[in-house]
């Protein structure tokens, strides 16, 4: 049986990552510069005593994806006190369109209503737009499957 190569993050490491990410969160607003932003976060972590040499930019991206998905799920289900690092994630993403209730579509939402809702805000950046379209597609597929 092969051992998993996935890193198990300690609480201290995760808190350091979120702290460094938050300090540079403005750098993540530019989709083409996210890799550099993650590199800067990793450098900041190392300067603050992070010593795990197996962690690279890809590991940081994967960790943030996991944290963000858990955060978004908790927000969607109004379970804001149920996940670790909720306050840190709120500090980073609390005002983000990716998680605000006006822009999060529940699977029960009618696909037509979801499209109308999504067209009301024209200032969404490209990353948010792609995420929104994926959500809409999933909602549409779910609605179609429920009709059968």
Predicted confidence (pLDDT) per residue in 106-144, tens digit: 434 444 444 444 444 444 456 666 777 777 777 777 777
- Give which of 18, 9, 27 is closest to 90, Cα–Cα: 18
Q: 69: Cβ–Cβ under 8 A, 6 or more apart, which residues?
A: none
- Of the given ranges (16-20, 35-39, 132-136), which has the lowest mean pLDDT? 132-136
Q: What is the pLDDT of residue 81?
A: 65
Q: List Cα–Cα distances, 140 to 101, 106, 113, 135, in angstroms.
A: 19, 11, 11, 9
Does residue 101 carry a pLDDT above 70?
no
> Percentage of residues in the chain with pLDDT exceeding 70?
71
Q: What is the pLDDT of residue 19?
A: 97
The neighbour count for residue 105, using CB atoms within 10 Å, is 19
Query: Would you place residue 96 in the very low, low, confident or very high pLDDT band (cuts 50, 70, 90)?
Result: confident
125, 29 in Cβ contact below 8 A? yes
Q: What is the pLDDT of residue 117?
A: 42
Alpha-carbon torsion (12, 16, 21, 23), positive or negative: positive
Cα–Cα distance for residue pair 102/108, rounded to 1 Å: 15
**Domain locations along the chain:** 9-94, 97-148
Query: Would you place residue 44 in the very low, low, confident or very high pLDDT band (cuts 50, 70, 90)?
Result: very high
- Give which of 129, 16, 7, 104 is closest to 62, Cα–Cα: 7
Q: Which H or E run includes 60?
A: helix 57-76
Residue with the bigger pLDDT between 78 and 19: it is 19
Structure tokens at 16: 């350091």
């Amino acid at each position: 049986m092969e051992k998993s190569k996935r890193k198990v993050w300690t609480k201290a490491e995760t808190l350091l990552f979120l702290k460094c990410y938050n300090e540079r969160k403005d750098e993540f607003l530019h989709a083409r510069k996210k890799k550099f932003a993650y590199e800067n976060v990793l450098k900041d972590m190392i300067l603050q005593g992070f010593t795990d040499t197996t962690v690279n930019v890809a590991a940081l991206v994967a960790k943030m994806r996991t944290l963000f998905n858990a955060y978004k799920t908790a927000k969607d289900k109004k379970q804001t006190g149920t996940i670790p690092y909720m306050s840190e994630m709120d500090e980073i993403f609390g005002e983000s369109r990716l998680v605000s209730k006006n822009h999060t579509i529940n699977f029960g939402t009618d696909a037509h209503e979801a499209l109308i809702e999504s067209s009301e805000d024209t200032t969404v950046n490209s990353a948010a737009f792609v995420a929104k379209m994926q959500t809409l597609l999933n909602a549409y597929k779910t609605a179609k499957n429920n009709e059968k």
